[in-house]
Structure 1
């Protein structure tokens, strides 16, 4: 079966790949098992040298990789290489650098006549299922730590971004990683479920939709393994009356519209204290209108097409429903000549007079659309932020650290930001609550899910 990647730029077929057949899948699983048995016996230093050389490949080829990514999923070329140079590099370097400490034996109090400790052992073959929206940033969270922990990896990338998986293979080949420790497969959804259910898979790291997360969970239900699930978000921001408004506007506009809003931790709803609401909305609208929507291969484009027309149509439908229910749009799409119905090119949109009876404020939009509501108190903001099936990140914009901490303790979220948003700090656990998923990547805690504890209880003959 042929898999085709349709570029959102012009609707052309950018990549065609043949899906792996049953024999190829079986061979990859066997190879992964065999390679891991040897790889687990390598030292952390050996693993580090190879992973750092693989990172070198990515950095040396960042511009070429960035252009490929633009054609595959539509993000402007002025930004795509930075996925490698910034976030990818930062996360890979951090997880490599902490591996020795994170994977070290856990010493316990000693008792005369005994030696006791806990060792973290690799799980075996880790199956990574990665999405298209940030294909390198999401996958690096699991691929590099899994290999550093002594596992082998099979990567399945989204149909929209198959070249990303192939780039990993090229990087690890360049770095001299033993054959079979990293592999990729182009697979159908049915094949993914089959691989997850195979006894040779020790762990599944999935990033995608809530629906996809349920499918992964169903596939592992009959096995005694777990999966890390990073799912959707409807991430809120709260702007208090004491916030630096210029800073809040600049960062929240970017957090709402970067990557055409196609970010699981992008800003989708904003609550602003009524004392500064009108000023905030005015400045937010003004800055939004400065975006340049168009051909993402052009250097001056700041907003590219969404990944496909269906995604843009879904967002337009949410906006239309909200307007019919009383919401007001602040951005005239005609200001953006590239905005066209029936295409993935969608202008940014800001909605006011919204409420939580509207889908645009409760369901994931995953588009350059944001709703803004006034609130009268911290308590109201907390209630509205928590009125969601999701809980990936949330942010507060304030000059009061104590208030930020107090409010953050009450907000149901995996990450709580103050005066920042739409960012992953690799030193902190990346996790979600409610329908935003389960499990953890990044930080030293990220290694816990990629290993299992084994206790050593040794009685010493005296």
Structure 2
């Protein structure tokens, strides 16, 4: 059993104000994975004060950008060395299947590499070209935004943490990372790597804490910017607080992405692609393609193929390499997903496979049966709201314009895709869908390209140069 009985505050391991340790239990069988310190408001005060001192008077913001890049490069190497251990721990904590956590832990150094490339190429200080009417010289500096509160969810803890910590540190910011109690062990482990990499004291704190403590952190007057990943409802609260205090804010929120199958789509390839685009990480993914829009001429064929896909998924112990779908992270999340399935049945959608029953033999964990609905109207609750579990809905359409209208008829705008042999039609549809990301025939995203959403899916972008600049302020100096 792993125990972290101290909090990582400003690069030091410090006794928490709250003496009782929180328990991290497996969502598979409720066995005890470990215990960890839990932050409360006095710990937040200390972490923010430490970060404020380090930013206002410490060396980190004043280092040459190349020096910060060297330290993050060391961190990245240390992370890669422990990727397998990290994957095992996250699987034990939140029930993500081991194939998924292994893939993620191996891929995250590439995400950090993309930020390192962006930092190396960014002109941190540059003189603008002189114009004919110029009366002086103009110097533009890119400076760190300040003390960052990074608040992340439980579903992909290290991806969500590093997509914020790394660019913030490269920009010269100091960071207070607030993590979910479910991931207290794996996120505190990041403190070991940051210290070993040479991140100076004061620069990073890691605080597992509940929602009330999160709100205290983001409201703290010592915070300059909030970087949040999580639900749209929580994002609205954070945006409201940030607006009152004029804090900088970036929000990566929910989604209800549509995958569009045109009449010439390769349905077999689409089903294989949607296995990962729609159902990876137990369906607990904001960018999952959970609305499947299919041309009427291929509708029955597509539903049959998706039924075969959903029924082929192995559900069970997430540590088993043969498992594709593990448990939901908590009992309330399990009940939430099951209630949506019951809602779909009441709304009159056709239950093709699955249902609200817990899979046989897995009653001791937070399991949900992967479920497919057909004959869904886009106005139904199961087509409009983010379920955050292994539930897909299939909706028919008549032509390209109809598909675009359905896809855009959503409060969200995070991702989506189209499946077709006609690239020109694919590009026409891609340009008309109001989402931050969009794939053609399941093409993978680039870690150098911006990631984020339109509408209720968020504000700001992550990844690459665009993600790095979310942690930068611009200063113009005239000479």
Match of 1:366 in 2: 388
Match of 2:289 in 1: 267
Structure 1 residues 331, 339: CA separation in 2 closer, same or farther (over 3 Å shift)? farther
SS of equivalent residue, structure 1 residue 179: coil
The Cα shift of 1:113 comes to 5.9
Q: Which runs of 4+ in 1 moved over 4 A?
A: 332-336
Q: Distance in 2 between matches of 1:304 and 1:429?
A: 30
Cα deviation code 1:346-373 (max 9, x no counterpart):
1211111111232111111101000011
The Cα shift of 1:49 comes to 1.4
Structure 1 residues 313, 187: CA separation in 2 closer, same or farther (over 3 Å shift)? closer
Match of 1:92 among 92, 96, 112: 112
Match of 2:261 in 1: 239
Q: Distance in 1 between matches of 2:417 and 2:141?
A: 37
SS of equivalent residue, structure 1 residue 10: coil
Cα deviation code 1:233-291 (max 9, x no counterpart):
11111011122222111101322221110000011110011122222222221122221
Match of 1:406 in 2: 428
Match of 1:9 in 2: 28
The Cα shift of 1:44 comes to 2.0
Q: Distance in 1 between matches of 2:285 and 2:104?
A: 13
Cα deviation code 1:4-41 (max 9, x no counterpart):
33321112343333333444322222221222341111
TM-score (norm 2): 0.90
- Larger deviation: 162-171 or 255-264? 162-171
Cα deviation code 1:128-179 (max 9, x no counterpart):
1011111111222111011001111111111111123212211111111111
The answer to whether structure 1 residue 442 and structure 2 residue 458 are counterparts is no
The answer to whether structure 1 residue 141 and structure 2 residue 140 are counterparts is no
Match of 1:76 in 2: 97
Q: Distance in 2 between matches of 1:296 and 1:437?
A: 30
SS of equivalent residue, structure 1 residue 415: coil
Structure 1 residues 335, 136: CA separation in 2 closer, same or farther (over 3 Å shift)? closer
- The answer (yes or no) to whether the contact 2:139–2:477 under 8 Å persists in 1 is yes
- Larger deviation: 13-22 or 434-443? 13-22
- Larger deviation: 55-64 or 2-11? 2-11
SS of equivalent residue, structure 2 residue 432: coil
What is the aligned-residue RMSD (CA, Å)?
Answer: 2.0
Cα deviation code 1:384-425 (max 9, x no counterpart):
11111111011111122221222122211111211127x542
The answer to whether structure 1 residue 67 and structure 2 residue 83 are counterparts is no
Structure 1 residues 106, 380: CA separation in 2 closer, same or farther (over 3 Å shift)? farther
Cα deviation code 1:186-210 (max 9, x no counterpart):
3332222222222221111000011
Match of 2:12 in 1: none
- Matched ranges for 1:236-385 at <5 A: 236-332=258-354, 337-338=360-361, 340=363, 343-385=365-407
